[in-house]
Amino acid sequence: QVQLMESGGDSVQAGGSLRLSCQFSGYAVSSDCMGWFRRTPGPGKVRVGVAGLYVGGNTTYYAKSVKGRFTISQDKAKNTMYLEMTSLKPDDTAIYYCAPDMSVYDCYAGTWSDPLSASWGQGTQVVVSS
C-alpha cells in the first residue's frame, strides 16, 4: 500500500525560505522520475507541476515561475524527497504535493503528469504573506 507524507509547510513572509519533505513507502518498484506539484487556493484549481527530478540522469527541471528559487532533491536511503524553496512570493501560496512515481517520459520531456500509482498524499500548506 502506497503511503505518502508531505511535511514542512508553514506561513512565512515574502522573501523567506522553506524546506518541504515527502516520505514515501509501499511502491513495488522505485521510479526514475519524481516531482513536486502545487494547487493554489480557489475553486476549480488543479495541481500543477513545479519541479521534477530524473533520478537516472541526476537532472532536474522546473516550472518557469519557480526556476532559480526552488530545488528538488531526494535521499534514496531514507525514501524521502525534498523541495527547497527560497525567495518565496505570495504567488507561491498553495498546497504542495509530492509524486515519487511519475512516468520517466515526463522527465524526458520536462513535463508533469499524474503519478503512475494515481496516489496522492494530503499535501502540506504553504502560505506566503507580503
- Say what the pLDDT of residue 30 is: 77
- Say what the pLDDT of residue 57 is: 87
DSSP 3-state percent helix, strand, coil across the chain (nearest 5): 10, 45, 45
In contact, 48 and 38? CB cutoff 8 Å: yes
Sort strands 59-62 and 48-54 into parallel, antiparallel or unpaired: antiparallel
- Average per-residue pLDDT for the chain: 95
Stretches where the chain sits below pLDDT 50 are none
First to last CA, the chain: 40
